[in-house]
Structure 1
Amino acid sequence: MNTAVKSALNTSKQLSQQSISSLNASYMNNIQLFTNYNFREYFKRKYQREFEKLNKEFATNDSNAINHYEQLTEELRLIKRQTIINQLYKFDELIVEQK
């Protein structure tokens, strides 16, 4: 478990809204690193839904919130690896991306 996760979860396994917000910000920062528009938009939508679900679980003191949080921290590591792989390949810019 990395230091960010350790600092987010204290010894009594309690989540805080700040730790959830911090994890969400980490996701959005890493998702922006995708060079492909389709991947970027897909992961934005996917993890917005995941964080809405986590926030709902946290608000209702659901016991699954901690497990869901830990699952999302593992998936963040996956996203980081995927962005590195994605940056190795050149994709043509789509029409929707043109500024």
Structure 2
Amino acid sequence: MSTPTRTQVLGLYKQFIKNANHFNDYNFRNYFLRKAKTVFRENRDVKDQEKLQDLYTSALKDLGVLKRQSLISQMYTFDKLVVEPLDQKLE
């Protein structure tokens, strides 16, 4: 497999953020958002092609797990926590 391009990596990052936002539970949602941002920031200066390919492959696997777990999360409802903003749409 060839080395992932910058566009592919940014697309992967966006998918992580999108899928993390699908969690109904506030704590899980914020954990996965923080985790994605931290991991991508820590590895943004990696120049070694082999290391970059390994990170990309690992991230694709993690994205698959995140997608499955976010779908499972949507099957259950949780009460809003005090720290979560309430949707106050007056229609």
What TM-score do you get using the length of structure 1 for normalisation?
A: 0.79
Of structures 1 and 2, the larger Rg is shown by 2
RCO (CA 8 Å, sep 6+): is it higher in 1 or 2? Answer: 2
| Aligned match of 1:26 | 15
Alpha-carbon distance in 1 for matches of 2:29, 2:45: 24
Equivalent pair of 2:3/2:52 in contact (CA under 8 Å): no
| Aligned match of 1:93 | 80
Determine which of 17, 25, 40 is the counterpart of 1:36.
25
Task: Give the superposed CA RMSD.
Answer: 1.3
Displaced runs of 4 or more, over 4 A: none
Determine which of 3, 14, 30 is the counterpart of 1:14.
3
Alpha-carbon distance in 1 for matches of 2:9, 2:43: 8
Equivalent pair of 1:54/1:69 in contact (CA under 8 Å): no
The residue matched to 2:45 in structure 1 has which SS? helix
CA deviations on 1:8-44 (whole Å, 9 max, x unpaired) are: xxx5x12211111000001111111000010000001
More displaced 10-residue stretch of structure 1: 60-69 or 78-87: 60-69
Is the helix fraction higher in 1 or 2? 1
Determine which of 44, 61, 64 is the counterpart of 1:74.
61
Q: Percent identity?
A: 29
What TM-score do you get using the length of structure 2 for normalisation?
A: 0.86
Alpha-carbon distance in 1 for matches of 2:41, 2:69: 23
